[in-house]
Homo-oligomer: A and B are copies of this chain.
Amino acid sequence: MKTLRLTSNDRAVLLDSRFFARLPRATAEAILDGTIASTHEEHDILFRQDEPVDHVFFVLSGLVRLYRLGKDGREADIAVFPKGEIFGENAMFLEHRATANAQAAEPLIVARLESRKLRQLAAENTDVAQALIELLCHHGKMTEDCLAEDRLLTAPQRVASYILSHCPDGLSSFSFRLPFQKNVLAGKLGLAPEALSRAFSMLRQSGVTVKGRVIEIRDRQALEKF
């Protein structure tokens, strides 16, 4: 891990993101003041479950996997954060201890917002508090969605649902590129990699073609009722 200054491009990206865009410019600048960035190699750990964390993280580039460890060493993914997303904010309000492990799933650059400062700002400034509330809501809903899908859908259905979530409304045929390795997708969907593979080949008979990371859908309807 190396630490860097924020580039002016980084600042621009940050200020444009959903979290900062809703804040008055001066407030956003105040949060960013003193913020640094750090780079990490794939597989690096950013923080560990139950250990202290002093930052809230913003993904500038790369990918982060948030997961819990079982007693037997197995890993359960809680969420995956691509470029532009914020994570680790909940530790701020849980005595600065992480609820999960965070690992770079690709070469990674993150901005590190000082969590004590941010917490303090949130306590004084309703704009910041509001932004945090919306972030927490959003993350909470993501987790709920995940839990519900795990409990209601089979593996192929979860994969179909994931694919459909990338389909612009109204199109009945389209294609897109997976934003990360199948490995990671499997984890995010709560599947073993083999199960993901098999799910894709089930979906072939519903008009889904997979070539490398490129997914092609011929008939959206067929997927929807899978």
Contact = CB atoms under 8 A, between A and B. Distances in A.
Interface string A136-158: 11011101101110111100000
Given A78-B144, A94-B137, A126-B129, 6 more contacts: A70-B152, A76-B148, A78-B147, A100-B144, A123-B130, A129-B133
Contacts of A141: 90, 94, 99
A141 B100 CA distance: 10
Contact of A146 (B123, B134, B139, B147): B147
Contacts of A132: 133
Total copies of this chain within the assembly: 2
A4 B90 CA distance: 37
B150 A93 contact: no
A129 B125 CA distance: 10
A169 interface: no
Interface of A: 68, 70, 74, 76-78, 90, 93-94, 99-100, 122-126, 129-130, 132-134, 136-137, 139-141, 143-144, 146-148, 150-153, 190
Contacts of A124: 126
Contacts of A153: 70
B122 A133 contact: yes
Given A133-B132, A153-B70, A147 B90 contact: no
Given A129-B129, A129-B133, A68 B148 contact: yes
A66 to B, nearest CB: 9
Nearest to A134: B93
A50 B141 CA distance: 13
Contacts of A137: 90, 93-94, 136
